[in-house]
A and B are shown apart, each in its own frame.
Chain A
């Protein structure tokens, strides 16, 4: 009998409690002497237990289904009594407010239709960009109030959008999504210490949804030292664990997940498909693997399933960087995150991540 058979024999006997006392003592002695064997043995018994339990689980569920069918049959179908709510009539003096609110809703939906039509094929109903409308809500509320007060026609205020960006080089080059900066009058970044800096777009790739920005202040630096992460030049494999830092709100937010498909939306090969929760405002957020190498940036998510997110590959980003002339973008060459734990990685990364504010 080979060693393998032996370990399974022992493990099976151990799990079922049929191992005689003297063999148990022998086994314990062997495990104490040989840690590798001990680990292997423990994995084996864990697996046997899990296999058995998952089997009985499955059977229990099947039985429940069966029991349910019989129970449901023997029970008369009851009609559900839903408590009827109290109807509150819309008072006539609210009429004007309601009309203006409805008008605003109509305006919003029409402009959404317009925006959707004007975007390329990627922007259909299943795909939503993660740009954050910062002021829309507040503004429409204010407008309703001011409209009630002075009965003027609503005027369109400039919109303000938000995304996330991260450094390409310490001296102020950074990257975010093209759709965040599209049609912008001015772009500002807000760093971790709350300071605003004006930035301008120095290059973009609309198809890949990448925009490269430069902070206008020449003395600007993200952090004390060079950027601690590097950029992966090839695609990472399916199932790789990844994480991201972004600004779906004023505070920076951490999320983690994994690569769930090598190609992105509709098989787009310059994207990854990720299983990673993302929210509006996280557009342009860096996606890193466990060694702290940037594998891409978040661009959009599937609106129909909560956790599916798409990210542009770092390769598309590197291609764009190498095509930009007149700017000397010195990408980092040394990865300083590899040996750190996740908490330390995030702490370092935070310094080089910023929120991007766009005025249109």
Chain B
């Protein structure tokens, strides 16, 4: 039997079994709630997955301690995300109903986590845009290493370098260019 703390540690490491366990445990409650609040099937799963990503991000932090149950946290985040989405649709502020949460204080505590999450997403989008702008072979090479977890040996073989040392030199050159592009764009 897992304790919630163990589950979170495994989630942070990206372990599938833990992710599956958490996902399934709260799937019904949360998606049902969203669908009961005028959400479609797709809305429900989008929001729930987004909430899982927020939890995943939180769990990355070593000092992270959940002050409530995983389910409560996920529910609070999902509700908050869903209200934000409705707000976007309707272009007018929606008040969180007082009776919405099992623990109302959580609804607002989650706000900071969500904005941190949005900022992070924006940062990654910027980084990925810079990656795409790099051109070949740099773009594919860096993606292979950082996104697909390929080893330098594999990369050397795939990209036609004589050995992994050469591929590594090329990777460093690409990193230098990416750094210029990324931080140059940010400074503006």
List residues of A whose CB falls within 8 A of some B CB: 4-5, 8-9, 43-44, 47-48, 50-61, 63-65, 67-68, 70-72, 75, 78, 80-83, 239, 241, 306
Kindly list chain A residues whose C-beta atoms are within 8 Å of the C-beta of B188.
239, 241
CB-based nearest B residue for A240: B188
Closest 5 CB pairs of A and B: A55-B146, A54-B124, A55-B147, A8-B172, A51-B146
CB-based nearest B residue for A64: B49
24 contacts between A and B (CB under 8 A): A4-B176, A8-B171, A8-B172, A9-B172, A48-B175, A50-B123, A50-B124, A52-B146, A54-B127, A54-B146, A54-B147, A55-B149, A57-B56, A57-B124, A58-B147, A61-B53, A63-B14, A63-B19, A64-B23, A64-B49, A70-B20, A78-B35, A83-B36, A239-B188
Kindly list chain A residues whose C-beta atoms are within 8 Å of the C-beta of B178.
47
CA distance A70 to B35 in the complex (A): 20
Interface residues of B in 50-89 (CB under 8 A from A): 52-53, 56, 60
Q: Do the beta carbons of B172 and A47 come within 8 Å of each other?
A: no
CA distance A51 to B75 in the complex (A): 30
Known pairs A71-B24, A71-B27, A75-B28; A44 contacts B179 (CB<8 A): yes
A43 CB contact (under 8 Å) in B45, B91, B179: B179
Besides A59-B149, A81-B36, 16 new A-B residue pairs in contact (Cβ under 8 A), listed by A number: A8-B175, A44-B179, A47-B179, A47-B183, A51-B127, A51-B142, A54-B127, A55-B147, A55-B148, A57-B124, A60-B56, A64-B19, A71-B20, A78-B32, A80-B35, A241-B188
Indicate if B169 sits at the interface (CB-CB under 8 A): yes
Q: Do the beta carbons of A5 and B169 come within 8 Å of each other?
A: yes
Indicate if B182 sits at the interface (CB-CB under 8 A): yes
Q: Do the beta carbons of B182 and A47 come within 8 Å of each other?
A: yes
Kindly list chain A residues whose C-beta atoms are within 8 Å of the C-beta of B175.
8, 44, 47-48
Known pairs A5-B172, A75-B27, A241-B188; A67 contacts B146 (CB<8 A): no
Q: Do the beta carbons of B172 and A80 come within 8 Å of each other?
A: no
Known pairs A44-B179, A47-B175, A64-B53; A56 contacts B14 (CB<8 A): yes
Interface residues of B in 10-62 (CB under 8 A from A): 14, 16, 19-20, 23-24, 27-28, 32, 35-36, 38, 45, 49, 52-53, 56, 60
Kindly list chain A residues whose C-beta atoms are within 8 Å of the C-beta of B16.
63, 67
Q: Is the interface of A mostly helix, strand, loop or mixed?
A: helix
Interface residues of B in 118-133 (CB under 8 A from A): 123-124, 127-128
CA distance A65 to B173 in the complex (A): 34
CB-based nearest B residue for A61: B53
Kindly list chain B residues whose C-beta atoms are within 8 Å of the C-beta of A43.
179, 183
Kindly list chain B residues whose C-beta atoms are within 8 Å of the C-beta of A8.
171-172, 175-176
Number of interface residues of B (CB under 8 A): 39
B57 to chain A, nearest CB (A): 8
CB-based nearest A residue for B57: A57
CA distance A189 to B169 in the complex (A): 65
Q: Do the beta carbons of B173 and A4 come within 8 Å of each other?
A: yes
A277 to chain B, nearest CB (A): 11
CA distance A54 to B56 in the complex (A): 12
CA distance A94 to B182 in the complex (A): 63
Kindly list chain B residues whose C-beta atoms are within 8 Å of the C-beta of A44.
175, 179
Q: Do the beta carbons of A68 and B32 come within 8 Å of each other?
A: no
CB-based nearest A residue for B183: A43
Kindly list chain A residues whose C-beta atoms are within 8 Å of the C-beta of B49.
61, 64-65, 68
CA distance A82 to B39 in the complex (A): 10
CA distance A127 to B91 in the complex (A): 18
Kindly list chain A residues whose C-beta atoms are within 8 Å of the C-beta of B176.
4, 8
A316 to chain B, nearest CB (A): 26
CA distance A82 to B49 in the complex (A): 23
CA distance A2 to B128 in the complex (A): 27
Kindly list chain B residues whose C-beta atoms are within 8 Å of the C-beta of A4.
172-173, 176
A111 to chain B, nearest CB (A): 24
Taken residue by residue from 114 to 157, chain B's Cβ proximity to chain A (1 for < 8 Å, 0 otherwise) reads as 00000000011001100000000000001000111100000000
